[in-house]
Amino acid sequence: MKSRRIHLMGASGSGVTTIGRALASRLALPHHDSDDYFWLPTAPPYQTTRPAAERLRLMREMFLPRLDWVLSGTVTGWGDEFIPFFDLVVFVTTPRKLRLQRLRDREATHFGADAVAQGGWRHEEAESFVDWASHYEAGDREGRSLARDEAWLAKLPCPVVRVDGSRPLADLVEQLCSEAQRLPG
């Protein structure tokens, strides 16, 4: 039986989660996001990482063996055991300026505009996160980078589709639905 296991990845703010949710909805597939497994639930969120072994165990239990799913968010550096499961990987690239604006908007929506504004309780963390994300293309900071992602993509045995995350969401979903229909099996 043909499976549809689709993984979307890209820099923070590229639109991976938004596209992944929309694609999963359109294909009537369950959607999972790597952040839900990477981070322990905390208040405020994104404070404590979950140990890698626990992340992997949870993902194996929750969805990995199923035939159909969409996974958004990177697993580069800790999820290589998932590579054989992927039927299609989508690499979303989005211009840096747009990514960083999306991140600022997301932080304001998630935590409140006052919280992330100068003097707000979340200002330093929000600015630090945006600063970290701004180095993705240059790769001159610890953590994720375009070069690391490209190296990871190069070793994948499945098809890799590259999309521009600045395109309209409906157009991206339509393109990816077509790509999913072309999967062998």
Query: 92: domain CATH number?
Result: 3.40.50.300
* 185 in any annotated domain: no
Residue 142 lies in a domain: yes
State the pLDDT at residue 185. 67
Q: pTM to 2 decimals?
A: 0.95
Structural domains counted in the chain: 1
In a domain, 69, yes or no: yes
Please list the ranges in the chain whose pLDDT falls under 50: none
pLDDT score at 124 = 97
User: Does residue 111 fall inside a structural domain?
Assistant: yes
**Measured between alpha carbons, how far is residue 23 from residues 46, 96, 102 in Å?**
25, 23, 20
Q: Which domain holds residue 168?
A: 4-175
Any domain includes 88: yes
Q: How far apart are CA 22 and CA 42, in angstroms?
A: 26
Residue 105 maps to a domain: yes
Q: Is residue 180 part of a domain?
A: no
Q: For residue 181, tell me if it sits in a domain.
A: no
> What is the C-alpha separation between 96 and 66, in angstroms, rounded?
35
